[in-house]
A and B are shown apart, each in its own frame.
Chain A
Amino acid sequence: MRAFLKGVAASVTALVMTAGAAWADPYAPYAGETLVVSFPAHPHFTAVMKVLPRFTEETGIEVEVDLLQYLKMREKQTLELTKSRGDYDLIAYVVFSKADYVYADQLENLAKYFMNPKLADPHYNADDLIDAYVSNISLVGGEKGYLPGPLASAYGIPFGSETSILGYRTDIFEKHGLTVPETYDDLLDLACRIPELEPGMGGLSSRAASGHHASHAFLLHLAPLGGRIFDEQWTPIVNNEAGVAAAEALKTIVGCGPEGAQTFGFAESGAAFLQGQTAMFLDTTVFAGQVNDPTKSKVAGLVGWAPHPMGVRRGSQTGGFGVAIPRNAENKEAAFLLMQWLTSPRVDKMIALAGGNPSRYSTHADPEVNETFPHMATFGEALKHADPDWRPIIPVWGKINADLGTALSKVLTEDLDIQEALDGVAERARATMDEAGYYTWQQ
């Protein structure tokens, strides 16, 4: 009898202790689990890898990372997500995958996790997440289907998000008494004036290679110059005045750029700036981390940053990555805890200090972060004008994007007439959209 009582007492004590531990530590029930996550090989995630061991230390949850080049990562994810039981518990996805994954019903809606008091951290402060990124990366089901709206809900959280920013050589600007361009007129003027002032140097580094790169460069100019790919009825309007102006801007920039700029992808365009072959750089913020690294850059300490110049409106790009939980994940709750931990204000700052791209306003304004990376305040300012709708996030975009990029490459290398090229793109885009059913409700 005594032995029995002893046993009961021990069990009760053990139970109370477990319950107590669960109350004290929301991570305890998941300690010892191993999460498999899919991340891209990308500067932000290099920073994340430095911080990630802290998660295991603090929570006891192990994390295994599958790191792949981002297009390869997307291919592998596409396969994994169609399996009935996937290998990944958490994935980082490229913005344009949002359309594919959510449409195929492959991501978890995050509402049930944020509604669960045992999982949701009351200090998470979602208001602090940068609005344009949340609109662009997290929310689905509102305006146009891929933007926020009264019926939208979240399927992911911005993580490693980027916007476009203008980098310029302070020494060259000082030497010739140039002012940092604030408008597109100034930018285009300077882009072609610099090669005259500094023979052998290109004005502005831009991508231009056939396909995705040319299209990306064009879209960077399209939003500020007042253009869009589609109007509200999904009619292609890429060939209107603003579209032609954006293509002309791209042609001017590439024409006044470094030698061979017509074939530059992102890597070559960045390298040209880092090697001192151009005086300006206009592309994603993720590039900023390399500028002051003397092993990669000949222009360390000579680069200033300014917001993306304004055309008829302000509109820098929104891109990069988000994190989401696959529907077929095995450890969804623990995955949510990791996701919440990674995107919390405290860890967002830790990752920023390790060289990543923060997704919170508070991190951009943080004095410690700004002391280490003085450009962060400018980036925070630029983010206020980031345009979540600078390119459509619809499943057929890949095809239209490639066609646009090919047509623009022909404009840049074969002197195809801009209006003719964009008319062709609009016509083919219309056919693609029609086939995909975007005009079903139009009479």
Chain B
Amino acid sequence: MATARVKRMTPYMFLAPAAAIMIVGLLYPIGYMVYASFLDWNPSQRIGEADWVGLRNYVTLLHDASFRESVGVTLTFSAIVVSVELMLGVGLALLLDRNIRGMSALRTLFILPMMIAPIVVGLMWRYMYHPSVGILNQTLKSWGLEPVPWLSDSGWALTSIIIADVWQWTPFIFILALAALQSLPRSALEAARIDGASGWQQIIHIKLPLMMPVLIVTGLLRLIDSFKVLEVILVMTNGGPGLSTEILSLRISRTASEFRELGQAAAMSNYLLLILLTLTIVMFVYNKVVESRAQAIRQQAEEV
């Protein structure tokens, strides 16, 4: 009897250390943040000295026009960045999925931007966008074109940070898409070729659908990351002009350090967490639905 109980307990005992680390490393900070979001807490106070204000921080934020603008900027930025990067990254992968000489060197070159520290990327682009000495405007001028107010116009500033982000992170999608492409079952592609499918037909009907699970996860990772990008924008525009490039993570950082409102910053982080959680769940549900539909079709095909 006792041995049976011990036997039943064994897996839990093996799981215990991991669970403990999970609780300490993951749940505790999140719990702390949730608790802090109910406080009126400035950084000169210890957390115990802060006043409990209930949901006030959350309500204040909903009425705060700057916060709402910041959410809008974040959603626009992420949507554009992720779609453009997915298109470019997958496109590049489809183009380069062949045996070219020097391919491995080329691949290393492609992923270089990803390896550069974000602060450096920000500084580099800031100098390239510089209105008078930047390479971009100098080139435009030498071609006899009007210089562009890259960072000093609110419309252009968002475009400029999107360009920088696309430059840095397209390689990430490219690498994963390429890996997915190379692991596709050759039999399916061969069958398609024998049936006379053209290059485009192969891409649209075979390659893309088979790559889809990988692409969804990749897109999701990029989406989560793009919601949290901070340093590049901090260095390039610091959120300006106006609030045109102030994405949520930058606003959180400013709320904590400049406005000295840790409670409100925590509430903002929780909103961000909720947005991300919702997006992730929607994506996974969508993925599951698509998969189960595919499964059903496959089953039908097998039955016939």
Contacts of B244 in A (CB 8 A): 413
- Minimal Cβ-Cβ distance residue in A for B240: A210
The interface bits of chain B over 255-291 (1 if a CB of A lies within 8 angstroms of the residue's CB, else 0) are 0011111000000000000000000000000000000
Also in contact, A78 and B258, with CB within 8 A (given A406-B242, A409-B242, A413-B242) = no
Judged by a CB distance under 8 angstroms, whether A75 is at the interface is yes
Contacts of A413 in B (CB 8 A): 152-154, 240-242, 244
Contacts of B237 in A (CB 8 A): 210, 263
Q: Give residues of chain A (163-221) contacting chain B, Cβ–Cβ below 8 Å.
A: 209-212
Q: Which of A121-129, A287-295, A396-404 contacts B (4 or more CB under 8 A)?
A: A396-404
Also in contact, A258 and B44, with CB within 8 A (given A209-B240, A402-B258) = no
Q: CB distance B241 to A103 under 8 Å?
A: no
Contacts of A403 in B (CB 8 A): 66
Also in contact, A277 and B242, with CB within 8 A (given A104-B44, A260-B152, A263-B152) = no
Q: CB distance A210 to B239 under 8 Å?
A: yes
Q: Give residues of chain A (332-384) contacting chain B, Cβ–Cβ below 8 Å.
A: none
Q: CB distance B44 to A259 under 8 Å?
A: no
Task: Name the one of B42, B66, B154, B258 contacting A414, with C-beta atoms under 8 angstroms.
Answer: B154
Q: CB distance B260 to A100 under 8 Å?
A: yes
Contacts of A75 in B (CB 8 A): 43, 257
Judged by a CB distance under 8 angstroms, whether A71 is at the interface is yes
- Minimal Cβ-Cβ distance residue in A for B260: A398
Q: CB distance B259 to A210 under 8 Å?
A: no
Task: Name the one of B45, B242, B243, B261 contacting A399, with C-beta atoms under 8 angstroms.
Answer: B261
Q: CB distance B44 to A263 under 8 Å?
A: no
Docked complex Cα distance between A153 and B185 (Å): 79
Judged by a CB distance under 8 angstroms, whether A56 is at the interface is no
Contacts of A265 in B (CB 8 A): 238
Q: CB distance A262 to B152 under 8 Å?
A: yes
Docked complex Cα distance between A357 and B132 (Å): 32
A72 → B minimal CB distance (Å): 9
Interface residues on B, range: 20 to 34
User: Chain A binding site: helix, strand, loop or mixed by DSSP?
Assistant: helix
Judged by a CB distance under 8 angstroms, whether A412 is at the interface is yes
- Of listed A277, A403, A413, residue having the most chain B CB within 10 A: A413
Task: Name the one of B132, B147, B240 contacting A258, with C-beta atoms under 8 angstroms.
Answer: B132
Q: CB distance B257 to A263 under 8 Å?
A: no
Contacts of A106 in B (CB 8 A): 44
Judged by a CB distance under 8 angstroms, whether A82 is at the interface is yes
Q: CB distance B42 to A82 under 8 Å?
A: no
Judged by a CB distance under 8 angstroms, whether A237 is at the interface is no
Judged by a CB distance under 8 angstroms, whether A79 is at the interface is yes
Contacts of A395 in B (CB 8 A): 42, 260
- Minimal Cβ-Cβ distance residue in B for A399: B259
B240 → A minimal CB distance (Å): 2
Docked complex Cα distance between A277 and B242 (Å): 25
Contacts of A314 in B (CB 8 A): none
Q: CB distance A103 to B44 under 8 Å?
A: yes
Task: Name the one of A79, A103, A262, A406 contacting B243, with C-beta atoms under 8 angstroms.
Answer: A406
- Of listed B43, B132, B149, B152, residue having the most chain A CB within 10 A: B152
Docked complex Cα distance between A258 and B239 (Å): 21
Judged by a CB distance under 8 angstroms, whether B131 is at the interface is yes
Task: Name the one of B130, B243, B258 contacting A210, with C-beta atoms under 8 angstroms.
Answer: B243
Judged by a CB distance under 8 angstroms, whether B207 is at the interface is no
Also in contact, A409 and B259, with CB within 8 A (given A78-B43, A104-B45) = no
Contacts of B130 in A (CB 8 A): 260
Judged by a CB distance under 8 angstroms, whether B5 is at the interface is no
Judged by a CB distance under 8 angstroms, whether B232 is at the interface is no
Q: CB distance A81 to B66 under 8 Å?
A: no
Judged by a CB distance under 8 angstroms, whether B46 is at the interface is yes
Judged by a CB distance under 8 angstroms, whether A159 is at the interface is no
The interface bits of chain A over 88-106 (1 if a CB of B lies within 8 angstroms of the residue's CB, else 0) are 0000000000001101101
Task: Name the one of B44, B151, B242, B257 contacting A82, with C-beta atoms under 8 angstroms.
Answer: B44
B66 → A minimal CB distance (Å): 7
Residues of A within 8 A of B (CB): 71, 75, 78-79, 81-82, 100-101, 103-104, 106, 209-212, 258-263, 265, 277, 395, 398-399, 401-403, 406, 409-410, 412-414, 416
Q: Which 4 A-B pairs have the closest CB atoms?
A: A210-B240, A260-B131, A413-B241, A104-B44
A-B contact pairs, 17 of them (CB 8 A): A75-B43, A82-B45, A101-B44, A104-B44, A106-B44, A210-B238, A210-B243, A258-B132, A262-B149, A263-B131, A265-B238, A402-B258, A409-B241, A410-B243, A413-B152, A413-B241, A413-B242
